[in-house]
Structure 1
Amino acid sequence: MILIWLFFSVMFVIGTDTFLLSPLLPLLQDQFHVSTDMSGWMVSAYALGYALFALIAGPISDRLNRKTVMLWGFAGFILSTFLCGIAPSFAAMCLFRFAAGVSAAFVTPQIWASIPVIVQPSQIIKSMGIATAGLAASQMLGLPIGGFFASFTWHTPFFVLSGCSLILVLILAAVMPDIRPAEQMARPSIFSPYRELFLLPKTSIILLAYFLFQTGNFASFSFLGTWLSADYHLTVSQIGAAMLVLGLGNMLGSLIGSRISAKLGMFKTLTGGMLLMGALYFALPFFPNLFIVETSFFLTFFTAGIIFPLMMGVFQSISPDARGTIASLSNAAMYAGTTVGTCVAGFLYQSAHHFEAVTGLTAILFILSMALYQTISKNGKRQPAVRTQM
């Protein structure tokens, strides 16, 4: 369990870097003199780097020591995050954010792939919930802290994050055990595991459902800071503080989600949670005051904390022999969704000048994703192995 909490810490720093741009976006937009739709590329560059290289990182990590892969990826993450703090231009920032995404692609998949190996089957969902809580904690604590440091200068959050990551990677090198593949598998290329996975009919459905969910999720999330600045005239530090409740909800949902899904059932919890999140996102721009907005933040991300580990569990149930590849595939889908969602949302926001155009898109994509997960649920009733491997 000590190692699981170490994974929590890794997810915390990676998550802080992933979500850091949301409260900083209005400040960086002014710093680099770019439009709202162009500013979204500072988020998309990170996501694009992650999405592209996660596809390579998974098969590689399935053949190597996961600890080694994680440490080298973390080292690249530290360097690229530091470079973001000294970026002289918008183009340079996008380049360094892309590099940070590439590096992170070799870190977080090792966590999702290692958990099913190092814990008992009955503890997998709980352990994934703890790791997911690291992401939630980064929203609860990392984003407000990042907003606080950004009140001094926009460079500071990147320097602090890279310094903390350096300390963590040293601890990781000393504490984490080697996690080597059980056997060396002879495959003609690193892409052959993907061909094997996509021969399974449920892989494409699970992947598309997750992609649609994350596209909708990050379409709205990436521009929350911009919306709060425009409609409520909040400063960057106030935006970070406003997102404190968002992270609190996500962390609590991650920690207790396994109990809720045990009572209601995995797919019922998953699809019901997506329906609630879609309704809350859709209604967000119509709420009359900041207090109700904050309440909605809490409920939305409390629900997200519950259903995200379930989504990871669905992915990991596809094939126990290619967990690293599956973890990378899921992360690639997430960041591909982030890239597409942020780009489309930036265009909609710039064109319509109303946040409800973005949240309406999110609601539609959630409904489509929910329908696909319901299809998986029906197939799962005819294939009990999907549940027993969770």
Structure 2
Amino acid sequence: MSKYTVLFFLIMFMIGTDTFIISPLLPTLQEQFGVSTGVAGWMLGAYTLSSAVFALIAGPLSDGWNRRTVLICGLLGFSISTALCGFADSFWTMCLFRFLAGISAAFTAPQVWASIPTVVAPAKITKTMGIAFSGLAASQALGVPIGSWLANSNWSVPFWTIGISSLLLVVFAYFLLPDMKPAANKGERKSILSRYVPLITSGKARSGFLAYLLLHLAVGTSFAFLGKWMADRFELPVGQIGTVMIFLGFGNLFGSMISSYFSRKLSNANTIATGMVLLVALYAVVPQLTSVISVRIVYLIIFTTLGIVFPIVMGALTSLNASIRGTISSLANSTMNGANTFGAWVAGLLYVQFGGYSSIGIFSAVCMALSLGTFMLGGIFGRKEVRSGTGSASAT
């Protein structure tokens, strides 16, 4: 495993842990700051909202700068703002620091995906993407439980731990990463909007991001009310539901680590097609299961398959245009957050109004099938990339 792979894994692990850590701490923070349940949710929303919005700006800006500098500065801001969360003395200061952490994450995470094709040999890109993605999966399986355990002594400790650890990664990134300056275009200064033009005008790129939206809509809708359904259907307490979530995180981690193996053996297109067909069937079947064990097994397969699929999809998206990888990665991040937010709303509507979790399973299966069809018809796994500034395609 290369030094870059380890660094990218650890960066994504820290960002993932920071993203999810508020959820288990929410009841404690709500009591600490004396706010209602509805208002307390903004401590989570402040982070995801700023991350989604500023990613649309951060990506195009980073494509015109030294990507190494952007990543290091973003990670430094992330470490400081996260550590400051541990010193928050009110609800509003916590929201402010979470907002700043989200902005910093918006500048940092996309640089990981955009940097991998630059510093890693072509044959190892998919494997490195998979390991970096596994950092997010590991944060769910390990980071959040560890953070919750650290919070037993004081709710501030997880924020300080993430902040200090991220600061150490800043030092490692400074010495390990090479300069990644944009290609010289004398006399050319591109605006933020102009960097999106190659994606907007390319049918291949439009299809790719539509498929990516549908993919996350399927996953986000199904996952949003999984805990609620398991509590209602099987009368599981919160602790056992949390154990199931950790179990799923390990499945996702395992899938992302073996993603490159399937990519080599089956090809990207065949791996995506096989994996997503399997997901369509499993999403439709899982609401009909009658035992907790069978649900755990099926969802383990689902999350392992997602772990295989996501790195390949991200690799395909970032290969659309080598000159605007930051823009592509940031747009993918915003697409994911938007789909997950909308998916949670759809899940609530379906669960209450249209037959519970069965309707959610059907909705997710349909979205996954539409995503697969869009990926295949759009040619996202072909061998061409979007030509910068034109929207046409050229052989790579």
Shorter-chain TM-score tier: 0.7 to 0.9
Q: Is the 8 A contact 1:129 1:309 kept in 2?
A: yes
The aligned counterpart of 1:309 is 311
Q: Is the 8 A contact 1:59 1:324 kept in 2?
A: yes
Bigger radius of gyration among the two: 2
Greater mean alpha carbon deviation, residues 143-152 or residues 128-137: 143-152
Q: Is the 8 A contact 2:13 2:138 kept in 1?
A: yes
Shift in CA distance, 272/167, structure 1 to aligned 2, threshold 3 Å: same
Q: Which runs of 5+ in 1 are unaligned?
A: none
The code of the aligned residue for 2:219 comes to N
The aligned counterpart of 2:363 is 361
Shift in CA distance, 229/312, structure 1 to aligned 2, threshold 3 Å: same
Q: Does 1:167 align with 2:168?
A: yes
Q: Which one of 250, 275, 279 corresponds to residue 248 of structure 1?
A: 250
**Cα deviation digits, residues 193-219 of structure 1 (max 9, x gap):** 111332222111111110121122123
The aligned counterpart of 1:176 is 177
For 1:33 and 1:167, locate their aligned partners in 2 and report how far apart those are by CA, in whole Å.
36
What is the Cα-based RMSD across aligned positions, in Å? 3.2
**Cα deviation digits, residues 278-337 of structure 1 (max 9, x gap):** 433444444333322322232111101111111112212211222222222222211221
Q: Is the 8 A contact 1:220 1:359 kept in 2?
A: yes
Structure with higher RCO (Cα < 8 A, 6+ apart): 1
For 2:291 and 2:93, locate their aligned partners in 1 and report how far apart those are by CA, in whole Å.
38
For 1:353 and 1:22, locate their aligned partners in 2 and report how far apart those are by CA, in whole Å.
27
For 2:155 and 2:346, locate their aligned partners in 1 and report how far apart those are by CA, in whole Å.
26
Q: Say which SS state the counterpart of residue 63 (structure 2) adopts.
A: helix
Greater mean alpha carbon deviation, residues 16-25 or residues 330-339: 16-25
The aligned counterpart of 1:130 is 131
The aligned counterpart of 1:334 is 336
Q: Say which SS state the counterpart of residue 323 (structure 2) adopts.
A: coil
The aligned counterpart of 1:212 is 214
For 1:288 and 1:24, locate their aligned partners in 2 and report how far apart those are by CA, in whole Å.
32
Shift of 1:246: 1.4
The aligned counterpart of 1:235 is 238
Shift in CA distance, 343/263, structure 1 to aligned 2, threshold 3 Å: same
The aligned counterpart of 1:157 is 158
The aligned counterpart of 1:375 is 377
Q: Does 1:74 align with 2:67?
A: no
Shift in CA distance, 215/82, structure 1 to aligned 2, threshold 3 Å: farther
The code of the aligned residue for 1:250 comes to N
For 2:50 and 2:324, locate their aligned partners in 1 and report how far apart those are by CA, in whole Å.
22
Identity value in percent: 44
Shift of 1:176: 2.6
For 1:388 and 1:187, locate their aligned partners in 2 and report how far apart those are by CA, in whole Å.
23
Shift in CA distance, 228/175, structure 1 to aligned 2, threshold 3 Å: farther
Q: Which runs of 5+ in 2 are unaligned?
A: 386-392
Q: Say which SS state the counterpart of residue 105 (structure 1) adopts.
A: helix
How many residue pairs match? The answer is 384
The aligned counterpart of 2:104 is 103
Shift in CA distance, 374/93, structure 1 to aligned 2, threshold 3 Å: farther
**Cα deviation digits, residues 51-83 of structure 1 (max 9, x gap):** 211111112111212122112222332344345
The aligned counterpart of 1:385 is 384
The code of the aligned residue for 1:235 comes to V
For 2:22 and 2:214, locate their aligned partners in 1 and report how far apart those are by CA, in whole Å.
22
